[in-house]
Amino acid sequence: MASNGEAAFATNYLVLDPKEATVFDLLRFLLSSRADNRRFIFSPRGTRLPFPKRVVIVGSVVMQLILFMLAGPLALFGYALEQGLNLLHVNGGFMGLIFRILRGRRPVQAPDRDSPKFLSLIGLSDNREELDASIPIDDARYNSALAIMAAKVVYENPAHIEYVVSKIWKMEFMGFYDFWNAFQRKPTTQAMLFRQNKDSDSELICVSFRGTEPFAAEDWITDMDLSYFELPKVGRAHSGFMEALGLQRGSGWPKDLPQSTRQYAYYTIREILKDALKNNPKAKFIVTGHSLGGALAILFPSILAYHEEKDLLDRLDGVYTFGQPRVADSRFGAFVEQNLEGSTRKYFRIVYCNDLVPRVPWDNSWSDFQHFGKCIYFNSLYRGDIVDEVPNKNYFSIFMFMPKKMISAWELMRGFGMGMFMGPEYKELKVMRAVRLMGLFGLAGLPAHAPLDYVNSTRFASPNLYTSKPWLGQ
């Protein structure tokens, strides 16, 4: 959490510290427009906020406090659930486990979280690991199809990731990293890099950031946070996402860092790319991520532009984000569009149907966060369209309650027929069906956030959605 002194690099800032808030503090804040004398808010002297914005901030703080309280139980439940499901997975399912116990000929295998066979809940809900053979490298959809598989597999442990990249995709695994967060004083950001067709004209390096983990309350807290820093001549960006990418205490985004034993995502990946690309002038790279990983994916080239890293930006072949939350204000967005979009389109923000996460933080007249660029939006039939903003952009609407439940019911039923009508690789697993069932009776936008629907969307997409024609000015 930043203090006022540690935010000195920013021309403006508002940083929330929910743990310092009491009920009395929140009530006082609602009744007074001043934000600069609050225990749970860091902001410049004289900062005043309108009432609607104060209401939204209080709502954000309350939700974060609830998530803080649930963090321990949620992590324990997630650990137990993944262990139990992997126990079944490595022993041939429920009946396989029973036979092993009863017959005693083969010992029951205990799940090993560091093994290539161990799967996260993401992998257990969609165990596809092969790339789609029907989308060749010269297909306009190829980068997007590769990106979502990279964004999905990065949720797994390093051994599993390396196995998939090296043995299944037959590509060069360049490493998995656990990056330091200077503000939280611990590693919070995971990413991997791999390369295809080294030393050829089609050489492509992929950077994939891990997204919001289902049982990691801290990730969800970051998604719900409304804190921001304003960079000079650029605009306001989400503080939590920037901190995860490598923002430095007090100095913000210096172009270079002194030698350190710590690895920060932005700086380490930037240098890896510079070194890897220098021997092949035709080599390119893409950046991708799902959920929180999508936020980091678009911020990475944004900071490259901030540092005027033109040589690297010229080698950028595309940014592909899936279920990405809002990361910045309109001024920041204009800066990114100006520096990223030239003669060809490079930013592809992809949203599936009722996914909750792309609809937070809220976007309204007093908000500091807006999406920028066009969006490729897929409905529940996996039909895509290019839009300025998704329907029901802030998710929580009483008028959309029943339509969302009806779509959730349809998605549950659809899952039973996908394997039959679209092929065995589209058959939904029991874990995913259980997730959809919970969404039917809970938040419909959570099952819609799963990578499975994004994998399907990219595979069923029209190539016209990914043509190189820039969207700006259309």
Report the catalytic residues: 291, 355, 449
Cα dihedral 260, 336, 204, 259, rounded to 10, equals -10
Torsion 373-145-126-240 (CA) sign: negative
Asked whether the beta carbons of 236 and 299 are under 8 A apart, the reply is: no
Helix (H) or strand (E) holding 52: helix 51-90
Quote the CA–CA distance of 338 and 372 in Å, as a whole number: 11
Tokens of 400: 């959309």
Beta strand segments in 2-86, E? 12-16, 41-42
Asked whether the beta carbons of 249 and 96 are under 8 A apart, the reply is: no
Name the nearest CA neighbour of 14 among 27, 303, 46. Answer: 46
The helix/strand count (H/E) of the chain reads as 15, 12
Q: Between the CA of residue 246 and those of 78, 182, 307, what are the distances in Å?
A: 27, 7, 14
Quote the CA–CA distance of 16 and 168 in Å, as a whole number: 44
Name the nearest CA neighbour of 131 among 413, 459, 371. Answer: 459
Q: Between the CA of residue 359 and those of 18, 55, 370, 391, 392, what are the distances in Å?
A: 22, 18, 10, 10, 8
- Residue 116 CB partners (closer than 8 Å, separation 6+): 157, 159, 160, 162, 163
- Cβ atoms within 10 Å, residue 166: 13
SS3 250: coil
Name the nearest CA neighbour of 304 among 319, 293, 290, 291. Answer: 319
DSSP secondary structure letter of residue 371: -
DSSP secondary structure letter of residue 27: H
DSSP secondary structure letter of residue 289: E
SS3 82: helix
Torsion 383-389-391-395 (CA) sign: positive
